[in-house]
Structure 1
């Protein structure tokens, strides 16, 4: 089977967000099963890529988003990683390569699904849901823009889901939504590598440490960082006055940097060489979600390390987790109480972490992920 994979995030690139854990890991595994051609805007196929198992198609197209994108019919966020010229190049590749299946991974590349009956749309979240929560969390002059993005996203996403020959989702909740618009929807939980490193309780004499990790230029993560620093930690400090919150991730916005400047117990690290070491050194990894969306990979990776994880109900459900393996908390008071329990009851925290690690190892297997993608290819190929 010949497959043309279209993705805004190059699988041979370096990414400081979830693409490093998803498309980068998925693509070579798919290439072992099908004849795979990969297109990403702005990606250059050079001689240093000779060891790839797939054919990397070169592109000179580069995304250059402008404020004018906010005035168009399609969502403005679409052009941050997928320019119009990319859709034109993809159309030309479909004509030239004549693939059995056109696979658009991520909603950004969904303009292409209408160009082939044998198309697969891979959704990493239901973006309409994310935009709805983003609108609810907005205020002031930003609010009308967030509403417009919600309306544009709803129209764009639902149309793409209906047009696709098959749809892939990563979580049960997203599967239920997509299946309302396309019966050919397949659940493909992302694979998670469970390595040798695992969490153990920090020394009792150590300073209590909580870690929140993510791409700190993303609005969803900025909102969580602000919640933790401004609402959760003041409650934590009533009982654990020396507790430290570490906000870990590349390219923190000025607002996030300001959180660290306002209190020395909030540390904004910026990019770090090793996320795992930060998580393993913490008493708990605190990763609630405000805007939601798909499988929260930072939750799954912390669970794979056996870390005590404090998260909200949405991310917990996305990984099929429960209170036996996670601290499930939504409000500032609940998150603070969970943090205190994790620090003061290390054996309970360790037991949850061990259950979480075993759960990830059973449930998020790459072999199962690839099999689900191949099932979607087969469905689309019959259209």
Structure 2
């Protein structure tokens, strides 16, 4: 399952407390989609990973060191210029959306205090990371997207929230009123996922499980008493998230979440930060291994094709070498008995001096003259 807005909420709250006032020591960019920030905190150093990978975008702290290129990419050099040695003020989530802002206090080129932000959009293939100034202007982005006006010097505009509601701002009565407006044949889980920020399909179906309803339930199948049950389940899930969550991995379905998934075997984690780091880093490593295997398989296949062509050429040369002695003999016999070769003949029989004068048949090309046939045979011999 993807990293949804509810899990990001818990993760953001955890990292806000863990990394607040951390001093940026060094910034690296190990690959085209990933940036790491080494941060000094009282008594320890933490490394924060920010990934805009199109398959596994994420952010979390990490203990291992990634391999970094000898020459830092341009975006990495820009971050070093503006953020080292800045201080992290806070980490904020935009509502319950999959947009996270890291605000830094730093010093500008004139030595004056300044505030800059790293904005991470966790949007699958559209995931991106931006460096934005205090006026909301883009200094640069990990991926420049002209079609969305994601270019240096342009105003940063977050993606549309598609009119989704903030789940924390809705009262119980307002929630029930929203249910009343739902079209009759709409699956309830889809309505939840489409109407509220942060609710993935898994979170929406979890609401129905907590309400004691089938996840395939549509609006017309809800009794008025069910409305209250859905609202209570919705509130229960939201309060669990706002209270710090219950991070766990669910091995039977290969899912993970910062909240409980009812009726599934769970493997608890001490924090959402460690959960996201462990699960998504492993998935990322497996993806990279699969991609590397594919590249290696293609290269080996191409090399085998080249070797097969060379083998065919060498086999042909060996076959011709095996017949070289016969070709030389045929050429010498035709030269010796040139006067016996009729024009336009497809073969000729001549005495073979190596076989006590026995007649041997030598194939000819009837389109060629006798002398041209002799030249053709000697050419094949050489």
TM-score class, shorter-chain normalisation, is: under 0.3
Q: Which has the higher contact order (CA 8 A, sep 6+)?
A: 1
Greater strand proportion:
2
Greater helix proportion:
1
> Considering only CA atoms, is the larger Rg found in Structure 1 or Structure 2?
2
TM-score (norm 1): 0.23
